[in-house]
Amino acid sequence: MDLRDTPEEAAFRAQLRSWIGENLTDEIRRGRFEEAGRDWSRKLHEAGYAGLTWPKEYGGAGAPYSHQAIFLEEMARAEAPPHLGVIGLGMAGPTIIAHGTEEQKARHLEKILSTEEIWCQGFSEPGAGSDLSAVRTTARRENGHFVVDGQKVWSSFAHIADWCILVTRSDPESERHAGLTYLLVDMHAPGVEVRPLRQITGEAEFNEIFFTRVEVPVENVVAEIGGGWQVAMTTLLHERGTLGFALTAGLESQIRKLIALAKERGATPVQRDAIAREWIGLQAVRYTNYRSLTTLMKTGIPGPQGSGAKLWWSEANQRVTKLALELLGPEAQVLENGNYWQHQQLRSRGNTIEAGTSEILRNIIAERVLGLPRSR
Ligand SMILES: Cc1cc2nc3c(=O)[nH]c(=O)nc-3n(C[C@H](O)[C@H](O)[C@H](O)COP(=O)(O)OP(=O)(O)OC[C@H]3O[C@@H](n4cnc5c(N)ncnc54)[C@H](O)[C@@H]3O)c2cc1C
């Protein structure tokens, strides 16, 4: 792969940069995610930047994956807030495109792009996190629909979501990967209750969701009844697969801020060495991103290399923010004026848990990238 932009990619990047310059205000950058996010997401959609790689007939731009990579990179560089439909755009949409019926595509895809529908992901449960095959939320067939009962947890955006991608156990006799069914569930349906959970940062981004006799039409099953595992794997590959460029660009601006802080406050030789090591690691992970992009452009499916970028970014983010707190010294404890580095350090703790814990990602890299024997 040639790592430089083609003339056509360079033109897309230039046009995008000038659009960001004209449209991204400090108010949007600093605004509260839910309010500022809606306006910003609408602007992105109107300018044709939401769903760049999605088929044109469903409101996408039908652009190559390299454009998506450039888009993520430039947005992270400009510190633009993400599209409010993070889960719809990154997970639910690509899963519906890959496995959904024509009716499901026509009904949901355009609304995901325009933020008319906000989505959440109902995979994790109190007893099923890393091991998704332990899911116990049930979906029983009754008179032409499914009745869902159970509990999900850590569901980001569920408090503002209209729809949920839900993994359920539809065959009560089944175990592990068999007998799971993937449903599209209306979050406004009777019997759905959302309870926000407060994080260590003080924010409440994620939630518990309780389902009590929630009726879901059979038309909302994605792919086969009992074939939910394969569909869930598509969602998870997309969760980690396309994010690499955004994560690396985000990490780059974080390290640049760290360098500025080190220049301002002064750093010991050991701290300078640690900062240099972060910069070198960042350059290495950049090339892993290009490998992921090559797989994606050849096959249309994100490869397991995305796990490498997510693993590196999440651990580097914890090291970088910790270094910044060290440089700040006692000031790092002060809570006034929304201490940026303190907030980043606290939020970074969740990075090594969400979208696959570091241990799980290491297992994936060992088995599926390096071809080592299975751990169990
Ligand atoms: C900020 C945030 C947002 C999230 N958003 C969502 C969301 O929107 N939707 C959703 O469904 N979930 C979401 N999650 C949940 C997340 O996917 C789970 O927390 C994660 O999969 C881990 O599951 P668990 O918490 O049950 O931990 P467990 O799976 O119980 O793991 C506990 C510990 O054991 C280790 N471990 C487990 N299995 C193995 C193994 N085989 N080998 C080695 N070590 C192992 C883990 O690495 C971890 O350290 C979110 C989590 C966070 C932190």
**CB contact burial 146-173 (16+ within 10 A = b; e otherwise):** bbbbbbbbbbbbbbbbbbbbbbbbbbee
Q: What is the position in ligand 1's atom list of the atom closest to the CA of 87? A: 8
274 Cα: distance to centroid of ligand 1 (angstroms): 29
Q: What is the position in ligand 1's atom list of the atom closest to the CA of 132? A: 21
Q: Which of 32-46, 56-70, 315-329 has the lowest mean pLDDT?
A: 32-46
CA angle (268, 77, 240) in 5-degree steps: 95
Q: What is the pLDDT of residues 153-203, one digit of tens each?
A: 999 999 999 999 999 999 999 989 999 999 999 999 999 999 999 999 998
State the Cα–Cα distance between residues 329 and 22, nearest whole angstrom: 38
State the Cα–Cα distance between residues 86 and 66, nearest whole angstrom: 19
Q: What is the position in ligand 1's atom list of the atom closest to the CA of 131? A: 29
Ligand 1, CB cutoff 6 Å, lining residues: 120-124, 129-130, 154-156, 206, 350, 353-354, 357, 359-360, 363
State the Cα–Cα distance between residues 374 and 174, nearest whole angstrom: 24
130 Cα: distance to centroid of ligand 1 (angstroms): 5
Helix and strand counts by DSSP (H, E) for the chain: 13, 8
The neighbouring-strand residues paired with 216 are: 146
Residue to mutate, 357, 360, 364, ligand 1, most ligand atoms under 8 Å from C-beta:
357
Q: Calculate Rg over the CA atoms of the chain.
A: 21
Q: What is the position in ligand 1's atom list of the atom closest to the CA of 128? A: 26
Closest residue CA from atom 32 of ligand 1: 130
pLDDT over 80 at 337, yes or no: no
Residue 19 banded pLDDT, cuts 50, 70, 90: very high
Q: What is the dihedral of CA 252, 303, 365, 154, to 10 degrees?
A: 70
State the Cα–Cα distance between residues 276 and 296, nearest whole angstrom: 31
Catalytic residues: 239
Residue to mutate, 353, 358, 367, ligand 1, most ligand atoms under 8 Å from C-beta:
353
134 Cα: distance to centroid of ligand 1 (angstroms): 13
304 Cα: distance to centroid of ligand 1 (angstroms): 18
Residue 241 banded pLDDT, cuts 50, 70, 90: low
Q: Is residue 54 within 8 Å of residue 3, measured between CB atoms?
A: no
129 Cα: distance to centroid of ligand 1 (angstroms): 5
Percentages (nearest 5) of helix, strand, coil residues in the chain: 55, 15, 30
Q: What is the pLDDT of residues 54-77, one digit of tens each?
A: 999 999 999 998 998 899 889 988
- Give residue for tokens 């500022």: 36
Could you give the percent of the chain with pLDDT greater than 70?
96
State the Cα–Cα distance between residues 293 and 244, nearest whole angstrom: 9
H helix intervals, the chain = 7-23, 26-30, 33-46, 65-77, 86-87, 93-99, 102-113, 228-241, 244-265, 269-299, 305-328, 340-351, 358-364
pTM for the structure as a whole = 0.93
Helix (H, G, I), strand (E, B) or coil at 222: strand
